[in-house]
């Protein structure tokens, strides 16, 4: 199992330009992490922002030995940032493919591989 920080841009109180809605998640992969968070977001009223994930950061390996994916913490609100991440995926809309952002020579570049 891996640990991810999953973000929805903005929040229902401040809108899409407010602090991001964040979740700390244990899951097998980034797609499973997104699914867990989107299920949780659908349970909240979508007042000012849509209930989709926009950004996923792989933080590392989960050392607890637990086998089930789950939301460890969230939602909490802050600005999402990619510092200290193993890998980061992003998308703007629910129908968009996830894009892996890679760090090559100190700058971030989008990679269309969904791995």
- Of 44, 50, 32, nearest to 94 by C-alpha is 50
* pLDDT score recorded for residue 86: 74
* pLDDT score recorded for residue 47: 81
> Domain tally for the chain?
1
Q: DSSP letters of 82-110? A: -TT-SEEEE-SSTTSPPEEEEEETTEEEE
* pLDDT score recorded for residue 44: 86
3 state DSSP class of 15: strand
Burial readout 91-105 (b: 16 or more C-beta within 10 A, e: otherwise):
beeeeeebbbbeeee
Size of the chain, expressed as the number of residues it contains: 115
* pLDDT score recorded for residue 27: 98
* pLDDT score recorded for residue 106: 42
Structural domain including 36 reads: 2-111
- Of 55, 62, 49, nearest to 89 by C-alpha is 55
Give rounded-to-5 percent helix, strand, coil for the chain: 10, 40, 45
pLDDT per residue, tens digit, the chain (115 aa), is 999 999 999 999 999 999 999 999 999 999 999 999 999 999 987 788 889 999 999 999 999 999 999 999 999 998 777 666 778 888 889 899 888 886 554 455 555 555 5
């Amino acid at each position: 199992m891996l640990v991810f920080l999953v973000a929805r841009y903005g929040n229902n109180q401040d809108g899409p330009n407010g602090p991001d809605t964040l979740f700390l998640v244990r899951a097998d992969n980034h797609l499973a992490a997104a699914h867990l968070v989107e299920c949780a977001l659908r349970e909240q009223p979508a007042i000012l922002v849509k209930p989709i994930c926009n950004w996923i950061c792989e933080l590392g390996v989960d050392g607890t030995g637990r086998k089930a994916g789950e939301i460890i913490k969230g939602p909490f609100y802050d600005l999402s940032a990619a510092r200290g991440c193993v890998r980061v995926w992003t998308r703007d809309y629910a129908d968009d493919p996830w894009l892996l952002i890679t760090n090559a020579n100190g700058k971030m570049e989008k990679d269309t591989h969904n791995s």
